[in-house]
Structure 1
Amino acid sequence: MKIVIAGAGEVGYELSKVLSIEKHDVTVIDERKKCLQRVLENLDVLTVEGNATSPNVLVEAGAQDADLMVAVTSVDEVNIIASMMAKRLGVKRVIARVRNNELSRPDSPLTPSELGIDVLIHPEESAANEIHQLVKRASATDVVSLADGQLQLVGLRVEKNSDIINTTLEDLAESYSEIPFRVVAISRRGRTIIPRGNNQIMPLDHIFIITKVEHIRDIVEATGHKDVSLRRIMIAGGDEVGRMLARKLSKDKQKWEIKLIEPNPDIATEIANNQRDILVLNGDPTDPNLLVVEGIQEMDAFVSVTEDEESNIISCLMSKHLEVKKAVALVSKPQYIPLSQTIGIDAVVNVKASASDEIHRHIRQGQLLTVKALQGIKAEIMEVVAGKNCDISDKPIHSIGIPEGIVIGGILSGDSAEVATGDSVIKKGDRVIVLALPNAINQVEKLF
């Protein structure tokens, strides 16, 4: 597929990296020489220096022959204009990142398609959805719903007091034989392991498990955690992510007591007027004294989503020191993700990674139904339809010879989902849950 990406920032760079690994023909446009230099030095893609709103620059990048245009610059207006021009030049499909939510509202006077945009990505909403899932599951560092919500992938840190330390995965499966589950990946000191039965679980391993939703409590307790329910939550920051998160929590069946702190008095007043069921405070959410005065130590969960990511990390560390059960920080620099989890923050969410995941999912739509990159681990979880020409169907998984870097975690056959074992059989038309390292993703498509 020929793809033009406008914007070589973090989202554009990550997309280019993944798509080039998948052997797509990628061209990146940006005005900044430094960003393009980084792309050229590290990735197998073409670059064009210039403004994406220039028709000549788009033509130089090959937009007239492109299958897809992805506009992910940091400026909404540039993304919208570039999308309109690319569509006029003949690009078959356009995906644009737009932070302003006016276009996505039902009462908007203009629809995205009228501006040449086929898919509109709102990165802040993607991040708010991710945080919403995380705070609903107290002990998890990652939560991904799969197989129409019947299965979940959860990331859990193995505590030093856990009974499963030094246990092999074979012995673990035998000890908990009444619970269907599969350990599909282990992150150990920054290294990603696609495990086999003889791999042992070590203290502070970050393990990723697929299981049925009803068995998550048992799995969580086995790793040394208590799956407590959370009720009181403090949100530091009332920008887009904080506002959307508060709205989602207030609509939950689970009744939350929500306290939100926002430094801008106008924004705080607006949130308070629109969200009568939450307590809104006007103050500096990065001020430790204010957080203590407002009762951070009494909260079950603390979420810091201000624009200052260093303050988000520090505030979350302070909340953990005060024994808050769950702390989630919003970050934008990828290098902070493994660091923050090492120093004790329960989970981090990267707005740019959330946007990149969503765009990637739309690019891969068709046979690949879900694509999700996991924080702190170099692997992706995806749902794949076993196609008509699938060679591995109607055979037990243990006899297939799955390539290195790939593990099958679950199968949705009709309306029934099951956790995959060596004896499971994949039939044509089944939806199969696969975890794969980046260099093995092409092999997943060939397998199915």
Structure 2
Amino acid sequence: MKIIIIGTGKVGFSLAEQLLNEKHDITIVDTLDSALRRATDALDIMSVKGNGVSTATLREAGAEDADLVVAATNSDEVNMVCCLTAKHLGAKYTIARIRNPEYNLGLHELKKNMGIDMVINPENATAVEISRLLRFPSAANIETFCRGRVELMGFRLQDGDFLVNQPLHALSAQVKQLSLLVCAVDRDGEVTIPNGSFIPCVGDKLYLIGRPTSLDQFFRLLGRYSPKVKTVFIVGGGKISVYLTAILEKMKMRVKIVEMSEKRCRLVSEMMPRTTVICGDGTDQELLESERMSAADAFVALTDRDEDNLIISLYAMQQGLHKVVTKCNRQNYTGIARAVGLDSVISPKLITAAQILQLVRGMQNSQGSVMNTLYRIADGTTEAMEFTVGPSTRHLNVPLRDLHLHKGILIAVIMRDGEIIIPEGSSCIQEGDSVIIISRDHPILDLNDIYAEEDGPFLLTGGSDEH
């Protein structure tokens, strides 16, 4: 596909990188030589210097026959006009990054009037992700499928957990009767799609998928069940904090925000009158102590600096807070954070890139099965996808044990008429089902992509009776 990205900040650069990995024709547009140089030095892509609002600039970038134009500059208004101009030139599909909460109420009219097909809001998406983690503090990360009926959670195995040093098929009947599945394991950066003979070890990060109620029961059995979060301490009063606070207030949680800018403090106080807003330096240990940070149920670091977020998150963890969530956009920092015990690390740019990637794959596969959801887990090395099974899907009504699947593919969940099925070898896929696929090293555009060649080796990687 021919894709133009206007604005090469964190989101634009990350998106270009991921789309390039999927062999798309990418052109970037920016007004800054330094941004263009950084992108072209790191990535094999075309670049155009200029303002994305300009018809001449967009023509030079090839907007007339572009399949997709993504406007991701720092200005909401510029992004809107970029989409309008690109649509008039002939671009097939446009996406605008719109972050200001004030535009939320009139988004439908904005999209209609400005020729915008899709709006992305990294801050709002990040806030939603964090709110899930605070709702279920035992998990390091949570993704939802089938409109919330299925959840995927990651957590780190600790010494003394009953899963340690025994194969998955030897789990107790009490665990086996739960509607869930161990769908992936991250061990020192190497991801495995486990079968029944897999033996988990201390330090492994396990990913479970299943009904929310079953996952809840599992964590109770594991002794990891945490009481509900009632108070949240946030450092940083930016857009993510505003969106997050609005969600948490609806969840009846009490929020305290520390923000350095006096002007921003006044603004946040006006927008969130029920929230306590403190003007001060969130990296100041004395201030955190005087504001009784350690008495909170959860801590969230949302400053503009990844380094500050990591340091104050480590301090919060040292103070004994059970749930610590850290915003970090730099990929090289994420591994360091997890190595020192910070498992709930959130990256707005990666969340946004995954949203757009899902759309791009759907556009490529307009005739096949529909991709409803796409998440990247295990530091982006593995994907979890939800598809709706269509009439063009092959091997319908064939038992899973008889299918030839690519290595590293797992059929994790089937939803049929509202019923959640954790598949066994005798299970089969039917038209109209929602199917959740876990894939390592295979970009999946269509449900048919999970099948190996008919004359290839027999590879049943998912849905075996051992699970």
Normalization by structure 2: what TM-score? 0.88
- Is there any run of 5+ residues in structure 2 with no aligned partner, and where? 452-467
Bigger CA drift: 178-187 or 128-137?
178-187
How many residues are matched? 445
Q: 1:233 to 1:224 in 2, by over 3 A?
A: same
1:385 aligns with 2:382: no
- Deviation, 1:37, is 5.4
Q: Distance in 1 between matches of 2:200 and 2:173?
A: 15
Is the CA contact (8 Å cut-off) linking 2:48 and 2:60 kept in structure 1? yes
Partner of 1:265: 262
Bigger CA drift: 392-401 or 151-160?
392-401
Pairing 1:8-23 to 2, within 5 Å after superposition: 8-23=8-23
Q: 1:420 to 1:40 in 2, by over 3 A?
A: farther
- Secondary structure, in 3 states, of the residue corresponding to 1:340? helix
Is the CA contact (8 Å cut-off) linking 1:408 and 1:435 kept in structure 2? yes
Q: Distance in 2 between matches of 1:51 and 1:199?
A: 54
Partner of 2:440: 437
- Secondary structure, in 3 states, of the residue corresponding to 2:354? helix
- Deviation, 1:374, is 2.4
- Deviation, 1:155, is 0.7
Computed over aligned residues only, the root mean square deviation of the Cα atoms, in angstroms, reads 2.5
1:95 aligns with 2:95: yes
Q: Which amino acid aligns with 1:92?
A: K
- Deviation, 1:276, is 3.3
Q: 1:36 to 1:272 in 2, by over 3 A?
A: closer
1:403 aligns with 2:402: no
Alpha-carbon displacement from aligned partner over 1:36-94 (angstroms, at most 9, x marks no partner): 55655665654444443333332232210112111123343442332222111101110
Partner of 1:80: 80
1:352 aligns with 2:352: no
Q: Which amino acid aligns with 1:99?
A: R
Q: 1:429 to 1:341 in 2, by over 3 A?
A: same
Q: Which amino acid aligns with 2:137?
A: A
Q: 1:376 to 1:41 in 2, by over 3 A?
A: same
Pairing 1:141-290 to 2, within 5 Å after superposition: 141-172=140-171, 176-221=175-220, 225-252=224-251, 255-290=252-287
Bigger CA drift: 434-443 or 276-285?
434-443
Q: Distance in 2 between matches of 1:39 and 1:282?
A: 37
Alpha-carbon displacement from aligned partner over 1:225-275 (angstroms, at most 9, x marks no partner): 3333222211112111111111110011xx322222222233323333443
- Deviation, 1:444, is 4.2
Q: Distance in 1 between matches of 2:290 and 2:238?
A: 22
Alpha-carbon displacement from aligned partner over 1:382-433 (angstroms, at most 9, x marks no partner): 1111121111321122221221222111111122222233332110121101
Q: Which amino acid aligns with 2:90?
A: G
Bigger CA drift: 34-43 or 162-171?
34-43
Q: Distance in 1 between matches of 2:159 and 2:406?
A: 33
Q: 1:97 to 1:167 in 2, by over 3 A?
A: same
Partner of 2:457: none
Bigger CA drift: 131-140 or 281-290?
281-290
Q: Which amino acid aligns with 2:408?
A: G
- Is there any run of 5+ residues in structure 1 with no aligned partner, and where? none
Q: Distance in 1 between matches of 2:446 and 2:405?
A: 10
Is the CA contact (8 Å cut-off) linking 1:5 and 1:26 kept in structure 2? yes
Q: Distance in 1 between matches of 2:438 and 2:315?
A: 34
Bigger CA drift: 125-134 or 188-197?
188-197
- Deviation, 1:156, is 0.7
- Secondary structure, in 3 states, of the residue corresponding to 1:360? helix
- Deviation, 1:214, is 0.7
- Deviation, 1:354, is 1.9
User: Percent identity, aligned pairs only?
Assistant: 30
1:56 aligns with 2:64: no
